[in-house]
Amino acid sequence: MLQFFSKFKKFFIVLGILSVIILYLMYNALKPEKRLPVYQPNMVNPELVDSTLLDVKKYHTIADFSLVNQNGKTITQKDYKGKIYVADFFFTTCPTICPIMTKNMAAIQDKIGEEVMLLSHSVTPQIDSVAQLKKYALEKGVDDSKWNLVTGDKKQIYALARKSYLAVKNDGDGGPYDMIHTENFILVDKERRIRGFYDGTNPKEIDKLLGDIEILKSSYLKD
C-alpha cells in the first residue's frame, strides 16, 4: 500500500491542488454578489419625503440643479456626470452635529479616488454666502477638486432635500421652505439614483459607506 501511494505521490499532489482550485472557483461562482439597493421614496422615513412622492416605488433620481459653490462657481448636475458622489445637508453656523459630519466628510475626502465626489448643501443659504462657505471650506480642509459646498435659492435647496435626496424634515413653524437637516449622508450612483443612507456622525456608518462605495465602483467594472 505504501509503495502504491509512493508511486503516485505526484499525481495525488496535483489532484489535491486541482481540487482546491476547483472548489475555490465554485465557491466564488456560487457566492451571492454584493449589490446595493436602489432606494425609492416609499422605502424612506415618510418624515423626510415630500408628500407628493410617498407612494413612488420606482424610477426615482436626483433632479437637475444649479447652485453656487465656495469659489463662486455655478455647480450643476453636469459637474457630477459619470461620478459616484456623497451628498449631505448642513449649515456653517450649526453648533451640534454639523462639525462632526464635516469632520467625517473630510475623512471620506481623503480616502476616495477621482471617480468619487462630495456635495454639501447649505440649509441656511441666506446666511451661508459664498464668502462664508469659502471661510468654512478653508477651516475644514475642503479639497475644491473633490468637494463642493453649495448655496443658492432656498426653494430649490428645499426641493432637492425633500424631493430628490429624501434627507431633511419639514419645519412647519418656520415658513414654507424651512427645513431641519438630519445627519444623513446619501450615496448617489452614476445614474443619479440613491444607493444608501448613512449616519454622518457615526464612525461605523462611515466605514460602511466607504465599503459601499467600493461595492458600487466594482459594479461598474463588471458592467
pLDDT surpasses 60 at 210: yes
Listed residue (184, 144, 139) closest to 162, CA to CA: 184
pLDDT in tens, 35-82: 899 999 999 999 999 999 999 999 999 999 999 999 999 999 999 999
In angstroms, the CA 219 to CA 223 distance is 6
In angstroms, the CA 96 to CA 99 distance is 7
Task: Return binding residues for Cu cation.
Answer: 94, 98, 181
Task: Return binding residues.
Answer: 94, 98, 181
Helix (H) and strand (E) counts for the chain?
A: 6, 9
The pTM assigned to this predicted structure is 0.84
CA 58 to chain centre: 19
Q: Are 192 and 164 in contact, with CB atoms under 8 Å apart? A: no
